Amino acid sequence: MIKALYLHIPFCSYKCPYCDFLSLVDAPLDHEEYVNLLIEESRLYSHYERDIRTLYLGGGTPTLLKPDTLAYLIDGLDKVLDLSGVVEITVECNPETYTTEDFRKLRRLGVNRLSIGAQSFTEKGLRSLGRKHSVSDTVRAYHEAREAGFENINLDIMYAYPEQESQDLEVELEWIEKLRPEHVSAYMLTPYPNTPIGVEISRGALKVPEEDELSRIYNSLWTGLKELGYSRYEISNWSLEGFECKHNLVYWNMEEFLGLGVSAWGFIGRTRYGNTKNILKYAEFVRKGIRPVDKSVRLSERDLFEEFVILRLRLKEGLPKSFKHVVPSHLLRFFEEGERGIGIREEYMLLSNEIIAEVLVYNSDRTLSEVKNG
Ligand code: SF4
């Protein structure tokens, strides 16, 4: 049963030097053409059983689309897929794109969650990340979104960018305290080798924080957010009580979701699929009534186990208690048992990749149904 819908909007007004997403500055399709293709693509899935509860518009920069275009898109998808059960609609927004009036129009469309790409509240951080907006653009966008009635706002923050020092975290935390968003996503910069930042870091022209400094940055981040009353419910996500992102929980709980748009991913039945990353191919396939999928993997019982362990150990609640025996005894000191499950202790989250890898090696023959059925 499909529970969530993701839409990839690939347009951006500039390319950030760390970005590994499919984002296009000079796209060969205009916004209206692309939106019509998304609606066409949705028809290819209209026979699937679904109870769509969340809608997420990510990118790219969805707020490069005018609110009227987004209204047309959501209305078109509703007619095909029935979005009447949707309780959360998130739109990713870059700080320099929308005004109060645009935000008001978004609210009228039923969009009830905004994810603002702040990335840093220091000008140094923004320059290091190659962002074109300023801190005051972010603050303005945030206040205007509040004025327009948004009561559920996420701020995206990045850390471990070149030249960052642990004291820079104080500024990020001060702004979070002042603005008090309901949700904070904090991602460590990944220097992908195919990005300009990745190239500069690998040839030593840019320096990211070394292990000790990274550990200080990381500790300031999670202890600071905790002191501000945020609860970490996933490796990179914190929220005030009741404001966990429902859409992302669908991914982490391995529920089915439909992904539409160039380069979008989806998970239906036991199959993970990925759409083509070529927008012209995407358009050609959809116009012919063919799914624009170029990768499709049906998960084996073993794959299901591995994904389940990886995704659930990203969550604070961790694995269900009945899975406790899959954690080897020498790793138990990294775990804590809560009411609902057994998860990695917050102070060891920076080691989560290594811990998860060890759990998987220890359970190299296990499958999901075997563990679930005892
Ligand atoms: S705005 Fe976002 S999607 Fe666009 S280039 Fe920058 S990081 Fe990538």
- Our answer on whether the CB atom of 21 is closer than 6 Å to any ligand 1 atom is yes
**DSSP secondary structure string for all residues of 295-315:** EEEEPPHHHHHHHHHHHHTTB
C-alpha to C-alpha distance for 211 and 354, rounded to whole angstroms? 15
Q: Which pLDDT score, from 0 to 100, does residue 202 have?
A: 93
C-alpha to C-alpha distance for 330 and 220, rounded to whole angstroms? 28
Which residue out of 9, 61, 131 has the highest number of ligand 1 atoms within 8 Å of its CB and is therefore the one to mutate? 61
- Which fold does the domain 2-250 belong to in CATH? TIM Barrel (3.20.20)
| Element at 252 (helix H, strand E) | helix 246-252
Instruction: List per-block mean pLDDT (blocks of 10 residues) for the chain, which spans 374 residues.
Output: 98 96 94 98 97 97 97 98 98 95 97 98 97 97 98 97 94 98 97 94 93 92 96 96 97 96 97 97 98 97 95 94 93 93 91 95 90 74
Distance 16 CA to ligand 1 centre (A): 5
**Strand-pair category, 265-268 with 271-275:** antiparallel
Distance 22 CA to ligand 1 centre (A): 9
- Our answer on whether the CB atom of 191 is closer than 6 Å to any ligand 1 atom is no
- Our answer on whether the CB atom of 94 is closer than 6 Å to any ligand 1 atom is yes
Which ligand 1 atom is at minimum distance from the Cα of 19?
A: 8
Q: Give me the residue spans of the domains in the chain.
A: 2-250, 302-372
Residues 6+ positions from 162 with CB-CB distance below 8 Å: 128, 197, 200, 201, 206, 207, 208
- Our answer on whether the CB atom of 343 is closer than 6 Å to any ligand 1 atom is no
Q: Which pLDDT score, from 0 to 100, does residue 20 have?
A: 92
Distance 216 CA to ligand 1 centre (A): 27
- pTM value is 0.95
